[in-house]
Homo-oligomer: A and B are copies of this chain.
Amino acid sequence: METLPGKTVERLSQYRRSLLSCLENGRDYIFSHDLANLHHITAVQVRRDLMLLGYSSVYRKGYPVRKLIEEIGKTLDSSEGQNAAVVGMGNLGTALAHYLSGIRPNLNVVASFDINPAKVGTLINGVPCHHVTALQKVIKEQNISIGIMTVPQDSAIEVADELGKTGIKGILNFTNISLNVPEGIYLEEYDMITSLEKVAYFVKKLGE
């Protein structure tokens, strides 16, 4: 299938989690406008996203939840499974190891890295922590394709270079500096400071 727009991918990921919790609540069908309300968007947006998925509901009593989850999975998930690693097990890394562990059966956080000897060799939130010097080795051995960077700003560039050499395929960067990665590596960056400043700006503006 065609590659979906990033925005649509984001929403599909979110729809799926809403749908999973619908299932838990015993709800088997859901209308586009209900799904929309859960995400502060319009029903048209939902339908359009599902259209891009190639899925269409025959029934007019809403989308069958179970089936929809399955369809989203067909598009988002990799059949072979994907492994991720967190680099930098400070508070943020530790939080991520926890939140991101086992979100999906075939997307797992299987390793983490740090330089603190007190952490190396232990299990943090269920994820084994290795010394950063073992980056190359562990990433290759465990077939890790995604690196999540939560190291201090000062070591960000160095770690990114190191990660680049491991043959990793994607990097999710929480460091507040923008990285340069080799062609062929997908890079997604998120900056918390920016988010806070953005909220601050709009709060200020709303108050004017």
Interface residues of A (CB under 8 A from B): 3-4, 6, 9-10, 13-14, 17, 38-40, 75-78, 82, 84, 90-92, 94-96, 98-100, 103-104, 107, 145-146, 148, 169-172, 176, 178, 180, 184, 186, 188, 190-207
- Contact status B201-A9, CB under 8 Å: yes
Nearest-neighbor residue (CB-CB) of A194 within chain B: B13
- Expressed in whole angstroms, the minimum distance between the Cβ of A107 and any Cβ of chain B is 5
How many copies of this chain are found per oligomer? 2
| Extra A-B contacts (13), CB below 8 Å, given A90-B95, A91-B92, A170-B203 | A9-B202, A10-B198, A40-B178, A40-B180, A91-B98, A100-B192, A100-B196, A103-B196, A107-B200, A146-B196, A184-B206, A188-B195, A190-B192
* Smallest CB-CB A-B distances: 3 pairs: A91-B95, A92-B95, A170-B203
- Contact status B201-A76, CB under 8 Å: yes
- Expressed in whole angstroms, the minimum distance between the Cβ of A106 and any Cβ of chain B is 9
Nearest-neighbor residue (CB-CB) of A37 within chain B: B180
- Expressed in whole angstroms, the minimum distance between the Cβ of A37 and any Cβ of chain B is 9
